[in-house]
């Protein structure tokens, strides 16, 4: 049994996200938390997973986490590197990617993502990095996983800008727009696992991480939280999972520190 006393919420989130991936997945990886989760999966239970980054690197196996999609580590360890147009037209829009793994600055209950601006678009309080390839990932991958830390400023009743389309207004909104992929099927936070209701598509808590209460989940979420009829407890990290994550982070810190000198 792993000692949970020194496992951080971020570590729990990353490992829970990694577990959602399988050995057979072809995964379009976002930078940051999604990248950490995907590489932990590759280093533990899913060594055969194919990781694809937006810059065109296919089957990459980085020894450290990339700083951006343009990090040379991705190209150096990839099976092959293709042009960005080929990546999007042949791989993504061709339906060859099983999972798109995204982060979010703002998220609503239907899995719609904002990574563009906070506040009014023309006079924003904060201008965010933007969509990049995320809007296409959200509609073209067979399904989408989202990972983010819970906070009322991030999980909001109404996002300020629609960067990446989730389930829109809920229900069959995707289908009515002619989008035939599943959309967001899993939300992994530092407190819980959420899945969309089969009918309404509203994210519902299906599992809470060890030590987390319903009150804590609600107070860090900007909408009225729905809980599944039976809420499970997320299994704690194994020694293998925790070691893989921490060693990956340690290598990354050493490598990026050297780059900065």
| Active site residues per annotation | 54
Closest CA to 160 of 116, 96, 123: 116
Closest CA to 146 of 172, 165, 174: 165
In three-state form (DSSP H/G/I as H, E/B as E, the rest C), the secondary structure along 138-185 is HHHCCEEEEECCCCCCCECCCCCCCCECCCCCCCCHHHHCCCCCCCEE
Quote the CA–CA distance of 20 and 72 in Å, as a whole number: 27
Buried b (16+ CB within 10 A) or exposed e, 148-168: bebeeebbbeebbbebbbbbb
**Contacts for 101 with CB less than 8 Å, ≥ 6 apart:** 17, 21, 27, 28, 29, 30, 34, 37, 38, 144, 145, 146, 147
Quote the CA–CA distance of 112 and 145 in Å, as a whole number: 12
Quote the CA–CA distance of 44 and 143 in Å, as a whole number: 22
> 36 in helix, strand or coil?
helix
Quote the CA–CA distance of 115 and 160 in Å, as a whole number: 9
Two tokens at 24? 């057979």
């Amino acid at each position: 049994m792993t000692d949970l006393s020194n496992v951080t919420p971020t570590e729990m989130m990353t490992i829970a996200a990694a577990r959602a991936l399988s050995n057979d997945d072809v995964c379009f990886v976002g930078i940051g938390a999604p990248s950490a989760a995907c590489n932990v999966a590759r280093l533990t239970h899913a060594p055969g997973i194919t990781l694809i980054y937006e810059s065109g690197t296919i089957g990459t196996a980085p020894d450290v986490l990339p700083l951006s999609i343009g990090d040379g580590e991705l190209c150096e360890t990839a099976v092959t590197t293709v042009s960005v147009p080929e990546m999007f037209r042949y791989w993504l829009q061709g339906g060859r990617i099983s999972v798109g793994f995204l982060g979010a600055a703002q998220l609503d209950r239907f899995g719609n993502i904002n990574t563009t601006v906070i506040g009014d678009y023309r006079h924003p309080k904060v201008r965010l990095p933007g969509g990049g390839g995320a809007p296409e990932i959200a509609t073209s991958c067979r399904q989408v996983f989202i990972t983010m830390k819970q906070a009322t400023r991030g999980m909001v009743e109404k996002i300020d800008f629609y960067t990446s389309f989730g389930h829109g207004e809920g229900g069959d909104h995707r289908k009515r727009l002619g989008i035939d992929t599943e959309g967001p099927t899993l939300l992994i936070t530092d407190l819980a696992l959420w899945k969309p209701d089969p009918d309404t598509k509203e994210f519902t808590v299906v599992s809470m991480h060890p030590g987390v209460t319903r009150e804590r989940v609600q107070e860090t979420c900007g909408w009225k939280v729905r809980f599944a009829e039976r809420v499970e407890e997320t299994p704690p990290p194994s020694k293998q999972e925790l070691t893989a994550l921490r060693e990956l982070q340690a290598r990354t810190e050493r490598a990026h520190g050297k780059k900065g000198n």
